[in-house]
Amino acid sequence: MIYYDDRFMEVARPIIEHEEYQQMRYLKHHDESVFEHSVKVAFYAYQMAYKRNLDWESAIRGALLHDFFLYKFKKTFSPRIITDSIKHAIIHPIIAFDNASKYFDLNKKEEDIIKGHMFPFGLPKSKEAWIVSYVDKCIATIEYANNFRKMAYTAKKAAYFVE
């Protein structure tokens, strides 16, 4: 999966080629890596912001860094899954912001995008932050659906061999 556009790449390249950012390639997220997810969110958020004559550069940078938390959130099916998921939804934007500000100079809009992307647990303040939050939710839904489709296919295939 490669998203290419000269404007997009000019803004994205310094982040996506950064050594720490590259670590996200090794963290599974929904149905792919955190890296792939974040680049996808950034590209679609950029397209929406650009078409609306908004701050598309901040949309790209904020979207690329929205999940820059650098750890694997372990989902285990247990009675605590809901409380653990809510805690992660509240905490990971703060961790992502701390990591992002360690390695990159961020403006207020980029900070808002990172901290507010987990609506309703965070509240986006700018149009760009609302766009990133929306795109993130849409893409996550598709990624989860793809993951469930793969799991169902694998289960069906395994059941066939058991019979």
CATH code of the domain covering residue 60: 1.10.3210
119 is in which domain, residue-wise? 6-162
Residue 112 is encoded by which pair of tokens? 């808002």
Q: Are 121 and 89 in contact (CB under 8 A)?
A: yes
| Weakest mean pLDDT among 42-51, 124-133, 150-159 | 150-159
pLDDT of 3 strictly over 70 = no
Residue 1 lies in a domain: no
Of the two residues 104 and 81, the one the predictor is more confident about is: 104
Kindly tell me if the per-residue pLDDT of 126 is higher than 60.
yes
Q: Please state the pTM of the whole predicted model.
A: 0.81
Whether the predicted pLDDT of 50 surpasses 80: yes
Spatial contact of 138 and 124, defined as CB atoms under 8 Å apart: no
**For the chain, counts of helices (H) and of strands (E):** 7, 2
Within a domain: 117: yes
Which ranges constitute the DSSP H helices of 33-126? 34-51, 56-65, 81-103, 108-116
pLDDT band, residue 84 (cuts 50/70/90): low
- The count of structural domains within the chain is 1
DSSP-derived 3-state class of residue 82: helix
Is the pLDDT at 13 greater than 60? The verdict is yes
pLDDT at residue 134 is higher than 90: yes
Write the burial class of residue 114 (CB in 10 Å: 0-12 exposed, 13-18 middle, 19+ buried).
Answer: buried
Average pLDDT, the chain: 82
CA distances, 157 to each of 29, 143, 148 (Å): 24, 21, 14
**pLDDT, mean of residues 35-43:** 94
**Does the residue 20 lie in any domain?**
yes
